[in-house]
A and B are shown apart, each in its own frame.
Chain A
Amino acid sequence: GAVVSQHPSWVICKSGTSVKIECRSLDFQATTMFWYRQFPKQSLMLMATSNEGSKATYEQGVEKDKFLINHASLTLSTLTVTSAHPEDSSFYICSAILREGRQPQHFGDGTRLSIL
């Protein structure tokens, strides 16, 4: 079946570092991917919509200069957390939908980001 792969699964780094997270659709083309942030015992919160070949669309309150999104191909979107600080520590999850529509939506396995 369709699979979405995220890499890395866990990152620990010092404050001020920029961290890049990759999201790949392994066996299908995804014109649209989504990036979520999840705090412990909370639901997934949509951060941005990543569109292949165009600029990402950010949700209200999400700093686009802080969370850089690039969707350079139909199978890869990247999220870069720039100059990360401890408050950026969270679980980041991506998802992708099939080219023809919104079903099904597949989630990656998430990336745990810990900023010291």
Chain B
Amino acid sequence: KNQVEQSPQSLIILEGKNCTLQCNYTVSPFSNLRWYKQDTGRGPVSLTIMTFSENTKSNGRYTATLDADTKQSSLHITASQLSDSASYICVFLGGGGADGLTFGKGTHLIIQP
């Protein structure tokens, strides 16, 4: 069964600190992996997109990695800001249903001043 497990479920860090969010998957095959940021009460916004053959992709303070051997992806946030408080969801294009997507449940990140 194609699954996506994200960890931790919740994370609280101080402003300015770095953090890494994890995404373990069994989705196979897949075309690409996206990390989304979802602010409370808003729709998901794409941060990074990687194909299955890419290892890393950066977008400003966000860096996503993909290890096909261990079936793990991570999202590293550098120098966190209060506006980074949100849920972060990893989503695979592959293994899913009619929309072709397999969603993780997300990591709820809280940045404290």
Chain A residues near B (Cβ < 8 Å): 4, 6, 9, 34, 41-44, 46, 49, 57, 59, 91, 93, 95, 102-105, 107-110, 112
Contact of B98 among A6, A57, A93, A104 (CB under 8 A): A57
Give the shortest distance, in Å, between B76 (CB) and chain A (any CB). Answer: 22
Contact of B99 among A95, A104, A108, A109 (CB under 8 A): A95
B43 within 8 Å of A (CB atoms):
yes
B82 within 8 Å of A (CB atoms):
no
Once the chains bind, are B98 and A34 in contact (CB under 8 Å)? Answer: yes
Interface centre among B49, B96, B97, by most chain A C-beta atoms within 10 angstroms, is: B97
Tell me the B75-113 residues at the A interface (CB within 8 Å): 87, 89, 93, 96-101, 103-106, 108
Tell me the B16-32 residues at the A interface (CB within 8 Å): 32
Q: Known contacts A49-B99, A59-B98, A102-B93; is A108 also within 8 Å of B106 by CB?
A: no
Give Cα distance in the complex from A4 to B46, angstroms: 13
Once the chains bind, are A112 and B43 in contact (CB under 8 Å)? Answer: no
Top 4 A-B pairs, shortest CB-CB distance: A107-B43, A43-B103, A109-B43, A49-B98
Once the chains bind, are A43 and B105 in contact (CB under 8 Å)? Answer: yes
Give the shortest distance, in Å, between B25 (CB) and chain A (any CB). Answer: 13
- Chain A residue nearest to B108 in the complex (CB): A41
Hey, which chain B residues are within 8 Å of A9, CB to CB?
A: 41
Give the shortest distance, in Å, between A61 (CB) and chain B (any CB). Answer: 12
Q: 12 extra interchain contacts, Cβ-Cβ under 8 A, other than A34-B99, A41-B105, A43-B104?
A: A6-B43, A41-B108, A42-B105, A44-B44, A44-B89, A46-B97, A46-B99, A49-B98, A95-B99, A102-B93, A107-B43, A110-B41
Give the shortest distance, in Å, between B53 (CB) and chain A (any CB). Answer: 16
Hey, which chain A residues are within 8 Å of B100, CB to CB?
A: 102
Hey, which chain A residues are within 8 Å of B108, CB to CB?
A: 41
